[in-house]
Structure 1
Amino acid sequence: MIVSNVSLSGCAGVNSALCAAAGEGHLRGGSYGTTLTPTGNLVVAVCLGIIGTLGLVNNLLVLVLFCRFKILRSPINLLLINISISDLLVCVLGTPFSFAASTQGRWLIGEGGCVWYGFANSLFGIVSLISLAVLSYERYSTMVAPTEADSSNYHKISLGITVSWVYSLIWTVPPLFGWSHYGPEGPGTTCSVDWTAKTANSISYIICLFVFCLIVPFLVIVYCYGKLLCAIRQVSGINASVSRKREQRVLFMVVIMVICYLLCWLPYGIMALIATFGPPGLVTPVVSIIPSVLAKTSTVINPVIYVFMNKQFYRCFKALLHCEVLRRGSSMKSSSKVVTKALRGVAVTGPRNTNNFLFMVASLGEPVTTIPQLGPSVEPTIDVTRGSSSDINKPVVVSLVTHFDG
C-alpha cells in the first residue's frame, strides 16, 4: 500500500470547518462530520467490515499455518509472513477505526488519533508493497545464482524484511516532522497524508511518495517476474508439453499479481495526483472513497495470491482442515525449482541411450518430486545433465534454480 487512506478531495462542497482543518492538517474538535450521506456511510461501513473481516481471517490463517507446519518455515516463506503481518496490522489497527467512523458518520478519536491513524496505516501499507518487491527480487536473484539456494540461510531474507520496514519508516516519518502532514481525509471518516495542499512542501513529498513507494516497487515486480518467465521459456525445448503447462501457469500467476497490484493501487495513485495537481473540488468525497476501499482490498487479495495459490501452503491448509499430519517427503519440499539455463549443455545430434538422461523441467509452486526420463523414441535437443563430450560418462546437472512458491 502507498497509504491506507488518501485525502483525494478538495474543499468544494465540503463543510467549511472540515476544509479549514484539512488545510491546516489538524482537527479543531474531538470529531467532525462526514460529507457522505447516511446511505453512503452505510455502504462504506459494510465494505470496510467485509474487507476487514476477510483480511483478518486470511492473514491470521497464514500465521497459523506457518506456526503449525514446520515444512513451511523456509526463508522465502518468511517474506510471505512479513506481508501477512503488515496486512494484519492494517486490519487490526486501521480498518476498525474507519469502520466505526463510517457507522457513526464522523471521525471518533480526535486530532492525535487522526495523525496516528495516517502514520500507522501508511507505514504498514508501504511495508506490504516493498515486501512484494523484495519477494520478486529474491526469486529473480535466486534464478540467476549458479547454485541452488540454501534453504537454511535466513540472512538475506532477514535483510530484505529489515529493508522493507526501514524503507517504509523513511517515507512515513517525515510528515510527523513537517514534510507534508497527516490530516483528515476527503469523506471525513479517515485520515492520511494531505493530498490537497498546494504548497511546494506537500507537493514534493507527494511526488516522492508516488514514485518511490508505488512506481518503483511495481517496476521491480514486473522486471523480476518478467525475467523469471523468460527463463522458463528457455527450457521449453526440454519437454515441450510439461514446460508449456508450467510456462502457462507462471504467466497466469504473474498476470494476476500485476493486475491485482494495479487494481488496488493505480486508482489510488491517479486520484492522488489529480487531487494534488488538479483544481480544488475536481475529486469529490464520494469519488475519493472508492480508491481508498480498493486499496484496502489488498489485505484480502495478498494472502490469496501469494499464499493460498501456493500449492505448498494449500496442502498444509487442507491438512489443517482435516486434522491430518503431513508426512515429510519429496512432495513437500520447501522450495520449487525452475531450470532457467541450459546453455552449458551440449546438443545431442545422434542417437543416445535416452534412458540415462534425466531432465529437470520448470515448475511453479509444484515441487519437483521426480525427474522425468525421455522415452527411446524422443530425440532431445539439449542435454542439461551431460558435461563435455570428453567426459560423457560423468553426468553433471547444470542449471539455475529459483523459488516461485506463489
Structure 2
Amino acid sequence: MVVESGNLNFSTEDSSGTNLSANDSVRDTLMSREQSELGRTGHTVVAVFLGVIFLLGFLSNLFVLLVFARFQVLRTPINLILLNICVSDMLVCIFGTPFSFAASLYGRWLIGAHGCKWYGFANSLFGIVSLVSLAILSYERYSTILCYTKADPSDYKKAWLAIAGAWLYSLVWTVPPFFGWSSYGPEGPGTTCSVQWHQRSSRNISYVTCLFIFCLLLPLLLMMFCYGKILFAVRGVAKINQSSAQRRETHVLVMVVSMVSCYLLCWMPYGVVALLATFGQVGLVSPTTSIVPSILAKSSTFLNPVIYGLLNNQVLPGLRELWVRASRQPHPPHPAQQPSGWP
C-alpha cells in the first residue's frame, strides 16, 4: 500500500488551478522522467525487490484467505478484522505492486497521467485501511482481555461496523486530493505515483500534516497503548503463576514487539521522508532516496499476514490441514475449535 513518498521537480503552484493544467503537469513530469537518475541497473534492482514483495505478499495473504474460507470456525468477529487487513493487503498486491514493478522494468510510468492518479489513490486507500485496521485490532484485543468485555462469537455487528468505519475513515483522507486538497502524481524516479509530498502550497502542507497525524501517528499510539497495557497485565499474572503464565508472557512479548516493530519498520521511514520532502530543504530527499521507504512500506503486504495470520495459533492448524490435504494425507489434523482473543 500504499502511500509512497518522494521529491520531484514539480511546479509549486497552488492546487486550485484547473484540472486540465494539473493533468498537463503530471503528463509533462511523466515524460521528463523517462531518463531516470537510477539508471538501468537501479531500476532492475527495484523491480527485483518489488517482484519478491509481490510474490510473498500475494501468496501469504492468499494462504490466510484460503484458511478463513475453508474453516468457518475461524470466522469470529475479531478475526474478521484480521481478514480485512489481509483483503486490503491483497488489493495492494493486485492493484499496486504489479504496475510499479512493470514501470521499474521499463524505467518509466506506463499507464498515463490518469492511471497515475488512480494508482496513487487506490494504494493510499488500501494502505490506510490496513493501518487503521491494525489499530482497531489492537483495541479489540485490549477491550476483550483487560476491560472484561465478554466476546460474543455470534455478534458480528460490531466487527462489521469497525470494518466499515476503517474504509470510510480511509476514504475521508484519500478522496480530498481529487478536489484540490493536495494532489496525486508521480514520485521518486517516476515509476510510482502517490501524494505529491514536495509541493509547498498551504493546501498540500496542511494535507500532509493531517495525513501524518491522523493516519500514521494516531494508529501507532493506539497500538502502543493497547499492547503495552496487555503486556503489563500479563506480566502481573506471571508474578503469581510462575509456570504457564511466564510462557504466556514471553509469547505476548514476542507478538507485541513483532507487531509494533513491523509497523515502525514499514511505515515510520515512509512518514519521515514524506515530512522531510514537505518541510525540509528543497532537494533534501532525492528521487533515489525515496525508493527505500517506498519499498519498506510495500513490504507490509507480506509482513502483516505472517505476523497476524501465519503465526496465529488459530490459523496455523488450518494452514497445516490445507497443506496435508494438498499432500493427500488420509488423516489430516483439525484446527482448534475454540477461538481465542489473542493469537
TM-score by length of 1: 0.77
Deviation at 1:25, TM superposition (A): 5.4
Partner of 2:89: 87
Partner of 2:28: 28
Partner of 1:4: 3
> Is it true that 1:404 corresponds to 2:342 in the alignment?
yes
The alignment partner of 1:317 has SS state of helix
Pairing 1:256-335 to 2, within 5 Å after superposition = 256-323=258-325, 325-327=332-334, 331-335=336-340
Distance 2:192 2:99 in 1: 8
The alignment partner of 1:281 has SS state of coil
The alignment partner of 2:314 has SS state of helix
Q: Spell out, residue by residue over 1:246-288, the C-alpha distance to the aligned partner (whole angstroms, 9 max, x if none).
A: 1111011101111111111111111111111111111111111
Distance 1:29 1:258 in 2: 37
Deviation at 1:144, TM superposition (A): 3.4
Partners of 1:184 and 1:190 within 8 A in 2: yes
Task: Identify unmatched segments of 5+ residues in structure 1.
Answer: 13-20, 336-402
Aligned-residue RMSD, C-alpha? 1.9
> Is it true that 1:102 corresponds to 2:104 in the alignment?
yes
Deviation at 1:334, TM superposition (A): 1.3
Structure with greater contact order relative to length (CA < 8 Å, sep ≥ 6): 2
Partners of 2:29 and 2:186 within 8 A in 1: no
Pairing 1:176-215 to 2, within 5 Å after superposition = 176-215=178-217
Q: Spell out, residue by residue over 1:305-353, the C-alpha distance to the aligned partner (whole angstroms, 9 max, x if none).
A: 001111111111111111155547xx53111xxxxxxxxxxxxxxxxxx
Distance 1:25 1:244 in 2: 60
Query: What is the number of residues matched between the two proteins?
Result: 326
Pairing 1:333-352 to 2, within 5 Å after superposition = 333-335=338-340
How has the CA–CA distance of structure 1 residues 67 and 180 changed in structure 2, closer, same or farther, with 3 Å as cutoff? same
Q: Supply the AA of the counterpart residue of 2:26.
A: H
Distance 1:243 1:22 in 2: 60
Distance 1:160 1:139 in 2: 13
Q: Supply the AA of the counterpart residue of 1:9.
A: N
Partners of 1:25 and 1:182 within 8 A in 2: no
Pairing 1:63-142 to 2, within 5 Å after superposition = 63-142=65-144
How has the CA–CA distance of structure 1 residues 237 and 117 changed in structure 2, closer, same or farther, with 3 Å as cutoff? same
Tell me which moved more, 27-36 or 131-140. Answer: 27-36
Distance 1:224 1:322 in 2: 37
Partners of 2:57 and 2:90 within 8 A in 1: yes
How has the CA–CA distance of structure 1 residues 191 and 326 changed in structure 2, closer, same or farther, with 3 Å as cutoff? same
Q: Supply the AA of the counterpart residue of 1:308.
A: L
Distance 1:300 1:327 in 2: 25
The alignment partner of 1:28 has SS state of helix
Partner of 2:175: 173
Q: Supply the AA of the counterpart residue of 1:210.
A: F
Q: Spell out, residue by residue over 1:212-257, the C-alpha distance to the aligned partner (whole angstroms, 9 max, x if none).
A: 0000000000000111112212322442121111111101110111
Partners of 2:47 and 2:105 within 8 A in 1: yes
Deviation at 1:143, TM superposition (A): 2.0
Deviation at 1:5, TM superposition (A): 2.1
Pairing 1:7-18 to 2, within 5 Å after superposition = 8-11=6-9
Distance 1:68 1:249 in 2: 27
Q: Supply the AA of the counterpart residue of 1:260.
A: C
Distance 1:24 1:232 in 2: 58
Partner of 1:377: none
How has the CA–CA distance of structure 1 residues 325 and 153 changed in structure 2, closer, same or farther, with 3 Å as cutoff? farther
Q: Supply the AA of the counterpart residue of 2:337.
A: M
Partners of 2:143 and 2:149 within 8 A in 1: no
Q: Spell out, residue by residue over 1:12-35, the C-alpha distance to the aligned partner (whole angstroms, 9 max, x if none).
A: 9xxxxxxxx999852238754133
How has the CA–CA distance of structure 1 residues 147 and 182 changed in structure 2, closer, same or farther, with 3 Å as cutoff? closer
Distance 2:91 2:318 in 1: 24
Pairing 1:30-45 to 2, within 5 Å after superposition = 31=31, 32-33=33-34, 34-45=36-47
Deviation at 1:138, TM superposition (A): 0.5
TM-score by length of 2: 0.91
Q: Supply the AA of the counterpart residue of 2:338.
A: K
Tell me which moved more, 229-238 or 125-134. Answer: 229-238
